[in-house]
Amino acid sequence: MLLGGYLLLGALGYVYLVAGLVVPAPWLAGLWIALLVLIVLAIRWWRRPLLVLALPFVGALFWFAYVQGLGSLFDWTA
């Protein structure tokens, strides 16, 4: 279960890193900081595998809200 959380977090990291195709550069830093926070939390919570498994899903919801919310607010286009 713990390994699955880390693997899902790695896949989510790829999505965060390639979000530069949609998100302008100044706003991309906020996403990368959020990714670093998720990685640090996963490392600190290694004894709580259910929390580590939940982190990628929370991160995906945050990514979707961030990209869709700011994209509609500032009218970003790919």
User: Distance (Å, rounded) from C-alpha 25 to C-alpha 56?
Assistant: 23
- Express each pLDDT in 9-66 by its tens digit: 999 999 999 999 999 999 999 999 999 999 999 999 999 999 999 999 999 999 999 9
User: Distance (Å, rounded) from C-alpha 78 to C-alpha 69?
Assistant: 15
Return the amino acid letter for 37. V
Element (H or E) spanning 61, and its range?
helix 49-74
Q: Roughly what angle, to the nearest 10 degrees, separates helices 25-44 and 2-17?
A: 170
pTM above 0.85, yes or no: yes
**Hey, where are the domains in the chain?**
2-71
